[in-house]
Amino acid sequence: MLGPNVETPKIAIVGGGIGGLAAAAFLRRAGLRGTVYEQAPALKEVGAGLVVAPNAARLLRRLGVLGRLRRSAVRLDVGWEFRRWQDGTVLSAEDLATACERLYGEHTYTVHRAELLDVLKTAVPEDAIRLGKRCTALELRDGRPSLRFDDGERAEADIVIGADGVHSVVRGAVTEPRPAAYSGLCAFRALVPGDRAPSFALRRAQTLWIGPGRHLVHYPVSGGRAVNLVAFAPAGDDSVESWTARATVEEFLLEFDGWDPRLVDLVRAAETPGRWALLDRAPLPRWSRGPVTLLGDAAHPMFPFFAQGAAQAIEDAAVLARCLAEDVADPARALRRYESLRLPRTSRLQAVSHARADVNHLPDGPGQRARDRSFAGTDPLVGNAWIYEYDPDAAMAPEAGAG
């Protein structure tokens, strides 16, 4: 049951990443207030890029921050340009320049993660962000959530949103812990300074080189001042699921030995890469329990092969804020509604992202040749319409009418 302050529930958001800040921003837009508790002493993102697909751009526009983001973002002309590992033969490419806005009303951008976090921060009141607050426990006392932090502070809230990422503490209060499975894959990520990047990597394109057991994606970010590299390869014994594990350029190069020389040159120009294992997590059966819910990677971590994890966190935030605003007297019911609106879509994205690894990593042979032929007959921009055209307000309209 909601606490005494029924009109303006006290909402605690654990985690100040893209999902947590988006939640605070959408709550504010809906006339509610959330306090973000972030463990780090400053809001920061890793030095890496992100694709902002039309479904995310639409919501950033609604928050009033897309214009500011566009000052540093790169507007892509070409998306998902699949190339053969050995010689760069183009297998398939999305024509974003002429079709993306026409089909989905928004463009596709690439950004540096820190730039996205910065613009989201402008949509959240400064005093709604508490830094250096690592949540260590969440208890329900007579149904009311109480958060504990590592500095000894406690905070009571009417509603708790766990936006605390893949190792979520809040998740333990919602559902049984499920161990993550070892995926056998690891990800390398690195930035290449723009002035060291070959011109083909500075095109306004999201390029994917696919080959046996591996693939590599690159695109320019920060107005072309850097090129973002992210690559997937067999993990060996590496099992660190973290953004902080370091690797060397030599280790990165070894993975792509024998690939198209343009690609090898690009990797050689990279700054110190990070490497971490991708752990495999099945969709959770539930995200909410009473007044506690999850959002973003805490709820639905996914392989990044559709570049949709952050976009889904932003969509979650938009739907969650509306559900709470429309049912402020009964948060548990509002959270159940949020979960039922969001869980099927994010589970589908988890599944298709999972399946993409096998497709991208086929060994050369009949299966690979059939895949490459099928690329020619499909337009991924249209095939992915269910991802890009999603609008939370539209998705809630028929459901709201039925309810």
What is the set of active-site residues? 219
Q: CB under 6 A: which stretch of 31-39, 64-72, 192-200, 283-291 binds ligand FAD? A: 31-39
Smaller CB distance to ligand FAD: residue 211 or 309? 309
Give the residue with the Cβ less far from ligand FAD, 259 or 306. Answer: 306
Contact pick of 27, 135, 266, 357 for ligand FAD (by CB under 6 A): 135
Which residue from 2, 16, 29, 30 is spatially nearest to 295, judged by alpha carbons? Answer: 16
Provide the 10 A C-beta neighbour count for residue 257. Answer: 7
Site for ligand FAD contains 130 (CB under 6 A): no
Residue 39 or 384 with smaller CB distance to ligand FAD: 39
Q: Taking the complex as a whole, how short is the minimal distance between the CB of residue 137 and ligand FAD, in angstroms?
A: 9
134 binds ligand FAD (CB under 6 A): yes
Binding status of residue 94 toward ligand FAD by CB under 6 A: no
Q: Applying CB under 6 A, which of residues 69, 93, 230, 247 lies at the interface with ligand FAD?
A: 230
Of 2, 11, 13, 18, which lies in the binding site for ligand FAD, with binding defined by CB under 6 A? 18
Name the residue nearer to ligand FAD (CB basis): 133 or 342: 133
Please say whether the beta carbons of 182 and 279 come within 8 A: yes
Angle at the Cα of 238 from the Cα atoms of 271 and 309, rounded to 5 degrees: 70
Which residue is it, tokens 């993550």? 180
Binding to ligand FAD, residues 310-329 (CB under 6 A): 310-311, 313
The answer to whether 271 and 191 have CB atoms below 8 angstroms apart is yes
Nearer to ligand FAD, 317 or 324 (CB): 317
Minimum distance of ligand FAD from residue 370's CB (angstroms): 28
Q: How many Å is the maximal CA-CA distance in the chain?
A: 66
Asked if 73 and 52 count as a contact pair (C-beta separation under 8 A), the reply is yes
Instruction: Give CA–CA dist 186/15, Å, rounded.
Output: 25
CB under 6 A: which stretch of 35-43, 87-95, 100-108, 337-345 binds ligand FAD?
A: 35-43
Residue with tokens 């029924």: 6
Query: Binding marks (x or -) toward ligand FAD, 163..202, rule CB under 6 A?
Result: xxx---x-----------------x-x-------------
Specify the DSSP element, H or E, that contains 11: strand 11-14
Beta-sheet pairing, 74-75 with 109-112: antiparallel
Which of 220, 309, 331, 392 is close enough to bind ligand FAD by CB under 6 A? 309
Contact residue for ligand FAD among 13, 27, 51, 216 (CB under 6 A): 51
Backbone angles phi, psi at 182, to 5 degrees: -75, 125
CA distance to 47, 146, 198, 199, 225, per residue, from 195 (Å): 17, 50, 8, 9, 7
State the amino acid at position 352 in one-letter form.
V
Query: Which residues have a Cβ under 8 Å from the Cβ of 269 and sit 6 or more positions away?
Result: 192, 193, 196, 197, 198
Q: Which amino acid, residue 179?
A: P
Stretch that binds ligand FAD, among 14-22, 72-80, 176-184, 258-266 (CB under 6 A): 14-22
Our finding on whether 14 is near ligand FAD (CB under 6 A) is yes
What are the phi and psi torsion angles at 328 (to 5°)?
-65, -25
Should residue 17 be labelled a site residue for ligand FAD when binding is judged by CB under 6 A?
Answer: yes
Give min distance, CB of 377 to ligand FAD, in A: 26
Contact 177, 294 (CB under 8 A): no
Picking from 188, 281, 282, the residue whose alpha carbon sits closest to that of residue 235 is 188
CB of 5 to ligand FAD, least distance (A): 24
Question: Whole-number minimum distance, CB 18 to ligand FAD, in Å?
Answer: 4
Burial class (CB within 10 angstroms; exposed 0-12, middle 13-18, buried 19+) of 339: buried
Would you count residue 255 as binding ligand FAD (CB under 6 A)? no
Which one of 9, 15, 54, 331 is in contact with ligand FAD (CB under 6 A)? 15
Subset of 266-305 contacting ligand FAD (CB under 6 A): 296-298, 304
Report which of 12, 46, 285, 10 is spatially closest to residue 147, judged by C-alpha positions.
12
Contact 327, 334 (CB under 8 A): yes
Nearer Cβ to ligand FAD (83/328)? 83
Measured from the CB atom, the residue of 247 and 328 that comes closer to ligand FAD is 247
350 touches ligand FAD by CB under 6 A: no
Tell me the two tokens of residue 248. Answer: 């060397």
Binding site for ligand FAD (CB under 6 A): 14-20, 37-40, 50-51, 133-135, 163-165, 169, 187, 189, 230, 296-298, 304, 307-311, 313
